[in-house]
Amino acid sequence: MLGKSTLGFSALMICLIQNTLAEESNDVTLTVSDVIDKRGVLSPKGTWSVEGSLSFTQNSSNRVSVVGYTVLPTLIIGRIEVSDADYVTTTLGLTARLGLTNATEFELRLPYVYRNDQVLVRPIETGSQDTIINRSTSGGAVGDLEFALRHQFNFDSTPYWIGGLRVKTRTGRSPYDIDIDETTNTLEDVSTGTGFWSVEPSLTMLYPSDPAVLFVNIGYIFNIEDSVELNGQETKVALGDTISLGGGMGFAVNPDLSFSLGVNHRTILKSKINGGEANDAKLLHLDSLTMGVNLRMNDRSSLNISAQAGLTEDSPDFQLTMRVPYYF
């Protein structure tokens, strides 16, 4: 999982800029231009909202490997295999937000995750139709429950600074709790969570510049070490922490329509087993480009659609998210 299915930076930006602005009289405003006119960008004290979201993520991997050895650079003794893996994740989320004060907002998010993993491995020899591995696994369950607090530090001057703290639980199905099929070396079921608690502090800057809002975000995800069972033994595993940095712009087309464009970079550090780095541990760099459109439907609700494209090999290929918040 490694944080790929979370809403993360892009969702936070769109929520702050487009979806979480409210008047004290409960008349909700949902466009980027309102950030310029109002000093507070979080839910006012005593107001709350519920947001339904649907996210579709697709990730694929194609690799060619040599099972054998080479005598010369052009002479291979053994077998050449090609593998094709496709991972499709659909996440249905329910998020509730409450304004504790005019400067502080509380958030609770519960996701339901459905995954379909397909792995195909076969020889690449001419005319060969043999399949070594052909496995398709699908299923769904509740994902990792998340709690978050956000606080706006200043109101009278720009740029606006907003601090955040997010805690991710381990309510989802952990990959370490799923049996492995020894014949194919794949999980017999799909995981819907990471299996570890994590804490993510973040800092966001919003700079209004009529009719746009510029934003920058930096965050760090601490994954808490825990003991899991590997090969029948209790093993301490620490997933690699994640450093995130991103920025972009939200632009108000008119009072009812706005769009956003941003880029995000994440560096996932190497995981550790029993205090040391695993032999196959890898430093991952995930870069993505996100575009979003927000349409205000009425005084209490809006429709937000965003698309994210991966720019590096380790990033998800494509992610499409639709969110509909309703303000009370």
Residues 6+ apart with CB under 8 A from 138: 114, 115, 116, 117, 190
Rounded distance between C-alpha atoms, residue 229 and residue 286, angstroms: 29
Position 95 in a domain: yes
Q: Where is pLDDT greater, at 310 or 24?
A: 310
Amino acid identity at 110: L
- Phi, psi (degrees; rounded to nearest 5) at 310: -75, 140
Tokens, residue 264: 């995000």
Q: What is the total count of domains within the chain?
A: 1
Tokens, residue 295: 């349409």
Name which of 113, 75, 106 is nearest 194 in CA terms. Answer: 113
Position 19 in a domain: yes
Rounded distance between C-alpha atoms, residue 190 and residue 175, angstroms: 7
Position 3 in a domain: no
Model pLDDT, residue 229:
79
pLDDT digits (tens, 9 = 90+) for 92-143: 999 999 999 989 999 999 999 999 988 777 665 544 555 566 778 889 999 9
Rounded distance between C-alpha atoms, residue 227 and residue 167, angstroms: 19
Name which of 61, 63, 64, 59 is nearest 116 in CA terms. Answer: 59
Amino acid identity at 236: K
pLDDT digits (tens, 9 = 90+) for 71-100: 444 444 444 555 677 889 999 999 999 999
Rounded distance between C-alpha atoms, residue 235 and residue 187, angstroms: 19
> Is omega for the bond preceding 201 within 30 degrees of 0, making it cis?
no
pLDDT digits (tens, 9 = 90+) for 262-304: 999 999 998 888 888 877 778 889 999 999 999 989 888 999 9
pLDDT digits (tens, 9 = 90+) for 236-249: 888 889 999 999 99
Position 24 in a domain: yes
Position 164 in a domain: no
pLDDT digits (tens, 9 = 90+) for 141-186: 999 999 999 999 998 888 999 999 999 999 999 888 888 776 666 7
pLDDT digits (tens, 9 = 90+) for 183-208: 666 777 888 988 899 999 999 999 98
pTM of the model: 0.81
Residues 6+ apart with CB under 8 A from 185: none
Position 1 in a domain: no
Rounded distance between C-alpha atoms, residue 184 and residue 136, angstroms: 11
8 A C-beta contact, residue 256 and residue 221? no
- Cα-Cα-Cα-Cα dihedral sign, residues 252, 258, 261, 265: positive
Rounded distance between C-alpha atoms, residue 159 and residue 181, angstroms: 54
Model pLDDT, residue 81:
53
- Cα-Cα-Cα-Cα dihedral sign, residues 16, 163, 107, 306: positive
Residue ranges making up the domain that contains 49? 8-159+169-327
Position 200 in a domain: yes
Position 2 in a domain: no
C-alpha distance across the termini of the chain, in Å: 34
